[in-house]
Each structure stands twice: as C-alpha cells, then as structure tokens.
Structure 1
Amino acid sequence: MLHGLCCDVVYIFDTELHARINTRSVIRRHFAKVRFTFSIIDGQGGSDRDVKARIGKARGALVMLKKIWSSKEISQRTKLRIFNSNVKSVLLYGCETWRTTETMLGKIQIFVNTCLRRILNIRWTDRIRNEDLWQRADQKPAAQQILRRKWGWIGHTLKKPASSITRQALKWNPQGKRKRGRPRNSWRRDTEAEINRQGKTWSQIERAAQDRVGWRIVVDGLCSPGGS
C-alpha cells in the first residue's frame, strides 16, 4: 500500500567562490525529474519494504551528486549540508511511522556511515570508530534521529483537536481475533514501551504535548541515549 504524504526534497544551494563545479546547477539538473513522495506499508504494518526502498532512493540521490562528493573545490562542510538536505532527507522520509527493528536500524546506519566515509574521503583501509566518524561529520546515530523525529511528530499530532482522525489513530485499537502465538511487535507497542521506560503514562504524554517547553523536556528524556 502506498502512503501518499507529499514531501518535497529540500535543496541547499551553497557554492564555493572558486568552485569549478556549479553546485546549484548540478543539483537542479539531477533532481529536476525525481520525486520521493511515497511510503510503503505492508499488510502487517511492517516497514521493511519501505526502508529498503528508501535506502535505494537515497543511494540513487547519492550517485546523482557524485561530482560534488569528488570535487576538491567544495568544502566538506558544504558537502555534508548537501548530504543532509538531498540524501538523508530522502532516506528518512516517513520514518516517524516506521516499526523499527535492530536489523532495520543497522542497515540504515551502515548506509549512512558509507556515505559519510565517502564524503570525508575516509578509505576502507582506514580504521575509525563510528562515534569518531559521527563526530567529524556532526551527525547523530540514525536510531536517535529517527526516534526524535517520531516523537516530534507525535507531539505535533497531539496538539490537534481531539476530533482529528490523525490524533485518534494514535490510540486506535483494531478489533477482532488475532492469530495464536506471540503477538507481532508494532509501532504502538514500541511507543508504549518507550513511555514506560520513562515512568510515564499516555495521559501524561498528552498533557505534556500541550506545553512547548515541557514537551521539549519530555522528548529530550525519551530520545537521550540512556532514555530509549
């Protein structure tokens, strides 16, 4: 099933004064006919197919901009900004509603690390810890970024009127009998587990979302390395 939330890719046009490659024209030329506006949700609520498609589209975006990554006239800082706006935005589109697993997060992080090593010109023979790589690129772990975007979206949704279908969907409980055996993990179960680890209830989360400052504190606690 295709989830048709529309989201345009954000572009950064930042050209070095003496660059031989016109960053702006390269991005425009390669992205003029490309759209990344759909999420794939399978019948069981899983996100594996969508993540696989996201990685494929992000890899395509990375290849389209290969002249920028190999340019010696464009600073690494500018390259990283272009990566965040034109590759990572494609990769993480719709991640707020992903049902994540350790395997899925690992695949996403491996792809991001591969991109960062290419942009920073770090060869495979050069050993570097992931933490050092992220620090050099001013990046957070993918799992932490996905979690923060998820809770940012939840907070935005909880500010909507109680009659909003989107808000009602957060608490919707499908009716009917389920198959025997251990129930599948779900986005909702993951969310409830994250709330429980913070010693909070859903009612407390709903109230906190109405206060911008209070909600920021809640999200920081939920998304801190030790909080999730």
Structure 2
Amino acid sequence: MAKGRMIELQDLWNDRNLPTELKMKLIKILVWSVLLYGLEGWTMTKADENRVLAAEMWFWRRMLNISWKERRTNRSILEELGVKRQLLGELVTRKLTYLGHILRGSGSVLTLQIIEGKVEGRRRRGRQKKQWFDNIKEWTGMSLVQAKRLAQNRTAWKKEIRRCSQMVANRQ
C-alpha cells in the first residue's frame, strides 16, 4: 500500500521546483504513515525487518529517480540525501511507546491480560513462532517484569525507547 502511495505521488517526485528537503518531509508524512499504520501489533521477523529496510531505500531511490540499473549503493544515496536509516527506528519507537502505554495500565485491561497471560495446554511440535513480546526482549534485553517496572517511570521509559531506537537504527 505504501509503495502504491509512492507511485500515486510520482508527479511530486518528478517536480524539479520542489526542494529535496520538502520531498523528504512529504515522504515521511504521506508514505511512511501508510507503511507504519497499525505496526504496534506486528510481530517483526528478520524478513519483515529486511522488507522495511528495502522499502525505505526504494522510497529514497524513487524520490531521486535513481534506477537500480545505475548500480548506486544505498550508502551513496543516504549520503546524497544527508540522512541515516530511520524507518526501522521509528517502528521500534512506536512499538515500545505502545508497550509502555499498555504496561502503565492506560490501555484496556484486556490488552494487558493478553500480554501477561499464559495459554493452557500443550504447544505444537516444532520451532516456536516468534511472538510479539519477543521483539521487545530483543530490542530492550528486558523481561516483561523489568519492562513493566521501568514503564511506570515515563522519563526512564522514554530514555530506554530512544536508546533502543538508536541501537536498532544504527545496526544497519
């Protein structure tokens, strides 16, 4: 859907009268918002992370009218724009902000019960599927109890969100 939105706005990207900085802001407002809609509920696998990273670079290339045939590296495009990869960091920020909201009890009681709850019975054979909270453990290195304690202090939680977001964004 986000790529479709990007294609719909092709007239904007081709307009030479618009400065690049404005085009970048428009991408963040008009395209990223479509991509990131509802992401708080996503369980991010490594393949999903790679898709998000590829989509971000596709957006920048499309904005600059750079073909894949030109064999330009992602690094050269980011240097030309003067930016770093941000989309995955934004995803982490939004997901951790939502978790803090839930853990403080600001959301519904049901969402907190779902996160803290256990399912009765036996699990299926084979490797366990990645769960929603597994992303949080990977990014923060905390258990649910530690995250819940830290989320009660909003300023400490915001610092943790910033740290995790920067760590994930710099990982690329």
TM-score of the alignment, normalized to the shorter chain, above 0.5? yes
RMSD, matched Cα: 2.7
Q: Partner of 2:78 in structure 1?
A: 133
Per the TM alignment, residue 163 of structure 1 is displaced from its structure 2 partner at its CA by 6.8
Is the alpha carbon distance of 1:183 and 1:62 closer, same or farther for their aligned partners in structure 2, counting shifts above 3 Å?
same
Q: How does 1:172-191 map to 2 (within 5 A)?
A: 172-191=117-136
Is the alpha carbon distance of 1:146 and 1:131 closer, same or farther for their aligned partners in structure 2, counting shifts above 3 Å?
farther
Give distance in 1, aligned partners of 2:123 and 2:161: 33
Question: Helix, strand or coil for the counterpart of 1:225?
Answer: helix
Q: Partner of 2:146 in structure 1?
A: 204
Could you say which structure has the greater relative contact order, defined with CA pairs below 8 angstroms and 6 or more residues apart? 2
Q: Partner of 1:60 in structure 2?
A: 4
Match of 2:155 among 188, 192, 213: 213
Give distance in 1, aligned partners of 2:24 and 2:166: 24
Give distance in 1, aligned partners of 2:81 and 2:135: 31
Give distance in 1, aligned partners of 2:108 and 2:91: 27
Structure whose residues are more often helix by fraction: 2
Q: Which has the larger radius of gyration?
A: 1
Per the TM alignment, residue 87 of structure 1 is displaced from its structure 2 partner at its CA by 0.8
Give distance in 2, aligned partners of 1:66 and 1:109: 21
Instruction: Indicate conservation of the 8 Å contact 1:109/1:141, yes or no.
Output: no
Match of 1:107 among 25, 34, 51: 51
Is the alpha carbon distance of 1:163 and 1:74 closer, same or farther for their aligned partners in structure 2, counting shifts above 3 Å?
closer
Structure 1, gaps ≥5 residues long: 1-56
Structure 2, gaps ≥5 residues long: none
Give distance in 2, aligned partners of 1:161 and 1:142: 26
Per the TM alignment, residue 150 of structure 1 is displaced from its structure 2 partner at its CA by 0.9
Match of 1:90 among 28, 34, 42: 34
Q: What letter is aligned with 2:16?
A: K
Q: How does 1:9-88 map to 2 (within 5 A)?
A: 57-88=1-32
TM-score by length of 2: 0.82
Paired positions, count: 169
Instruction: Indicate conservation of the 8 Å contact 1:105/1:142, yes or no.
Output: no
Q: Partner of 1:31 in structure 2?
A: none
Give distance in 2, aligned partners of 1:140 and 1:218: 19
Is the alpha carbon distance of 1:130 and 1:213 closer, same or farther for their aligned partners in structure 2, counting shifts above 3 Å?
same
Tell me which moved more, 91-100 or 119-128. 119-128
